[in-house]
Amino acid sequence: MIMFEGHDPYLVALSVAVAILGGYTGFGLAARIRVTPEGHHRVLLAGAAAFLAIGIWTMHFIGMLAAPLPPDTGYLILPTIVSFLICVLVVGVSLFFVSTGEPTLGRLASSAVLMGVGITSMHYVGMHGLSGPFAMVHRPIFVVLAALIAIGASYGGLRAFLARHDGWQLIVSAIAFGVAVSGMHYTAMEGMQLETVGHGAHSHMAEGLAASQQVLSLVVAVLCFVVAAGFLLSLMPDPRKHTSAAAAEIEGILPETTAMAESVAIEAELAPAVAPRLKAAPLGGLGQPPRAAPVPRLPIEGADGTHFIDVAEVRSIRADAHYTRVHDGIRERMCPWSISETEAQLDPSQFLRVHRSYIAAIPHIAFVRKEGDGAVIELDGSSPHRIPVSRAKIAEVKARLGLAKRSTSTL
């Protein structure tokens, strides 16, 4: 009888590290789904599912390489591939199920159960792919315990996804997820026994295309590189995001600061002379012309030229470097105006800048929910989409939606 007590500690540590890196990259991508334009959801969902599945599956087979298996053990190709496909499928379906619609506790729990059972199934299907002169026995109590650990890890990971964690919070969530998933694997391995037999009927020798441990080591090494590369890429700042935010902030703050400084200087030097004129100035501002009438249409750049869209059709506007992206409830299109210029041209009674990079059409807000330090609102249309609300704008959004009398905890 072969017991699994002599695992290679270095490979065990590597398996845990790969699971953590895969969890960080996967949940980091998944966390962006709820705050990105609708058209990018599928790409982010596929990337999140792929990195989570690769991290979990690679961790599993690094753990297998760390186990003291008989030297002539092989890995059947078909069950090994099926185990990976199971992992990708259940992770992708679980993330999709949670990312669409209202994330209720029942939806979250069912998704966690699906993902946990899927991860456990991946493990035992992969174990079924072992081929060698031995009989494999699994103790039921460890099977149940491994499944419960996998479900708990999945629940924690999905909660991190819904909370849209970043920074150290995402790091802590990834470490907890990686350790839990690895714990599931080694718990299941503790409950498995290989009984050495001959090449008789009861042995686990199976026919089919098989790979040696050396070939599996090469595949695992490549996948470790993929996980590490994805992790490093996720750490790189998004230049478009920073350019967009910086441009929006400079365009919104610099003119106001300059105008205020000029106004203070003139007022200090010529206060007696301008005082009568300031009293007679229109309500648009001290010594400044009143706000221009809102434009009825916004310019939209197309392949064949510039089109125009009625302001009433606009759901949201997103800063994109020195330009903006206008969402009409169906898709996003590019507008040549900056976010500050667009805000100045819109009717403030109908539109509100809810974030330094987003403007929302108040009449089209169909859903609002507190998330992290800020909030998320959903705009209606044929393709509803969600945009973030900064913490500083939550009170104003509540007031514009008639929610000012409700407690902050409900938003």
Q: What is the DSSP letter of 2?
A: B
What does the pLDDT average to over 10-26? 87
- pLDDT-based confidence at 359, cuts 50/70/90? very high
Of 71, 60, 210, 216, the closest CA to residue 133 belongs to 71
Residues with Cβ within 8 Å of 393's Cβ and at least 6 positions away in sequence, in order, are: 352, 353, 354, 355, 374
Helix axes 239-269, 271-280, angle to 10 degrees: 110
Looking at the predicted structure, is the pLDDT value of residue 217 above 90? no
Residue with tokens 């976010």: 339
pLDDT band at 405 (very low <50, low <70, confident <90, very high): low
CB 397 within 8 A of CB 354: yes
What pLDDT does 237 receive?
56
Q: Mean pLDDT across the chain, nearest whole number? A: 76
Pinpoint the alpha helices (H) of 31-139. 41-66, 77-99, 105-128
Instruction: For residue 201, give Cα distances in angstroms to 29, 79, 159, 204, 352.
Output: 48, 20, 47, 8, 74
Distance separating alpha carbons of residues 296 and 51, to the nearest angstrom:
45
CATH classification of 298-410, choosing from 3.30.230.10, 3.90.550.10, 1.10.600.10, 2.40.50.1020?
2.40.50.1020
338, 248 Cβ separation under 8 angstroms: yes
- 326 beta partners: 317, 333
Taking phi first (over 0 means left), then psi (-120 to 50 degrees means alpha), and beta for anything else, what does residue 95 get? alpha
Which residue from 157, 158, 197, 192 is spatially nearest to 173, judged by alpha carbons?
Answer: 157
Please give the average per-residue pLDDT across 371-389, as a whole number.
87
The three-class DSSP label of residue 36 is: coil
Q: How many CB atoms lie within 10 A of CB 180?
A: 21
Is 70's pLDDT higher than 90?
no
How do residues 219-254 score in pLDDT, each as one tens digit?
778 877 777 777 777 666 554 444 444 444 444 444
In this prediction, residue 67 carries a pLDDT of 81
Collapsed DSSP state (helix, strand, coil) of residue 5: coil
**For residue 269, is pLDDT > 50?**
no
Instruction: Please determine, for residue 273, whether its predicted confidence score (pLDDT) is greater than 50.
Output: no
Burial classification of residue 123, based on how many CB atoms lie within 10 Å of its CB (0-12 exposed, 13-18 middle, 19 or more buried):
buried
The four Cα atoms 37, 39, 41, 42 give a dihedral, to 10 degrees, of -170
Domain boundaries, the chain: 9-236, 242-280, 298-410
Please tell me the least confidently modeled range out of 129-143, 187-201, 273-287, 359-373.
Answer: 273-287
* Sole residue written with tokens 């109908």: 350
135 bridge partner residues: 195
348 near 277, Cβ under 8 Å? Answer: no
The single-letter code of the amino acid at 281 is: A
The region of weakest confidence among 324-328, 330-334, 352-356 is 330-334
Closest CA to 365 of 296, 402, 315, 321: 315
How far apart are the two ends of the chain, measured CA to CA in Å? 59
The confidence score (pLDDT) of residue 353 equals: 93
